[in-house]
Amino acid sequence: MAQVNAVSEQDGQGRRAVSDRLLATLLAGSGAVVVLLATGVVGSRAGVVIAWIAVAAIHVGLAWVARSTAGLPGLRAPARRFWRVVAVAGAIYLAGDLAQVVIAARDPAAGPAATGGAVQTVTLSAGSALLMLTLLTVPLGFGSRRERARFWMDTATVMVAAAVVGWYLVVPDRPAALLDMAAPVLAGPVILMLCVFVVAKLVLSGTAPFTRACGLIAAGGAVLKSGADAMSRDGLAGNRLHWYLACTVAAHALLAIALRVNQLQLAGRPAALEPRRAKPYSLLPYGAIAVTYLLLTVAVVRDRPATVTIALGGAAVSTLLVVLRQLAAFRDNARLLGELDTKVRELHVTQEGLRASLAERDALAARLRHHAFHDGLTGLANRTLYAERLDAALTTPGPVAAMLIDLDDFKQVNDRWGHAAGDTLLREVARRLQTCVRATDTVARLGGDEFAILLRPEPDDDLREVAARIVREVEVPVPVDGGGSARVGASIGIATATDLTGDGDALLREADHAMYAVKRGGKGSYALAADS
């Protein structure tokens, strides 16, 4: 396989080397011929024959380069097919050129000898039409029927302008000759200008089977050929013949140069033909309609009724096509705006739903956090939240006090009145504890009938007085279901910390020891850890 690839690569290099030598010879020869013809060094008769021989030689090189380009590795199937068609078109051109060389050699002074006889006209038209159809059938990557419709309206607009320009360039200023000259118009400038349009359209759409430089150079050659046809409209007497022949040879040479430039670019980077993003609009149709109105203005100023009729008809048709194009664009815009409004409404609804979902999420997160750090029965802080706040308080300056409160005789309430009564009593005790301290203090239920309070006492606060008030409030009977009342007491242990190195667990242990000292001493009272 490696040997086959190596042989194939050598064959390709050999073909490119032959193509390079052939093209260099043709370009050098064509340049020399253009100079000889333009300066009038050679006579008119010899110039006609030399010009058509040069054109035939150029088309030999064109066909060779196109065939070689079709064999480049990495090309997509549409591009490879296009370059094969170009090679065929070059062969068709060559057949007409050879016939024209014979005609020019027989009678160089005859009119068709310089401008092209019937055979040359037919082959030029056939080759150009083949290229045009191939360009028009290149996949453009349109995603909808609307895009295809806009493309064909643009094509029709430029075709109308091309027909008007072709008529102006070819038809003499005689109304009777209009229909007689229809075939030359359609055979020459219209096809050339339409090829210019298709080349530009493909380049702009990003799906051209050739590079941008190739398209621009080839378009320049087509424009130069149209200029030569315009030059021949009023006859080729005197020095006009030399310039016509020079422009004709130069136009065909530019086409060969375009193909070689394309081949060099593709040989170095086959990805140059990868589809590119197309522009959302094209100015070509508007340029075409401007040309029709320009020709109409020129015809009116020069008072040429025949040209005015053709230019006016072309301007009217092209204007109608552009108006239809704009109406289609307006409908598309209206449709897009409707779709945009629908999407905006859907987005608004989605946004409202998202906002509600976020609010629900935040509320749920708040409830989950509350459940995670609060007691479900009393709503007080639980052991986890109390420990966090105690540790945080111990890292800030100022005294910190921890109270542990254990209810006395709570089990008897459950045994006598039931657990529902016990729950009612716990909720009421929790409420009373909160009334006994500041809102900034933390009251927590550690579990069962055990509560805790975190205080940040001021210098004039008396912790004994706070504990005594709590004992009194807890001892007040609590009404329960069944018509009775339940009563419990409170044993309170108090521990304080006055430096930043305090340990929350150690502080709670001290308060716990003080509380159990109260239990052992008779319950229903309080004690400071420092006194126990």
The residues assigned a catalytic role are 449
Local structure of residue 279 (DSSP, 8 states): P
Residues β-bridged to residue 444: 381, 452
Cα–Cα dist 309/145, whole Å: 35
Cα–Cα dist 98/90, whole Å: 12
What residues contact 497, with CB distance under 8 A and at least 6 apart?
394, 399, 400, 401, 402, 507
Cα–Cα dist 344/350, whole Å: 9
- Joined together, the tokens standing for residue 449 give 């009938």
Cα–Cα dist 314/18, whole Å: 47
Cα–Cα dist 304/77, whole Å: 50
Q: Residue 298 CB: number of other CB atoms within 10 A? A: 14
Local structure of residue 277 (DSSP, 8 states): P
Closest by CA to 405, choosing from 420, 421, 386, 391, is 386
Q: Residue 12 CB: number of other CB atoms within 10 A? A: 15
Q: How many residues belong to the chain? A: 532
Query: At 408, is the secondary structure helix, strand, or coil?
Result: strand
Do 325 and 285 meet the contact criterion of CB atoms below 8 Å apart?
Answer: yes
- Joined together, the tokens standing for residue 309 give 């009729």
Cα–Cα dist 489/429, whole Å: 10
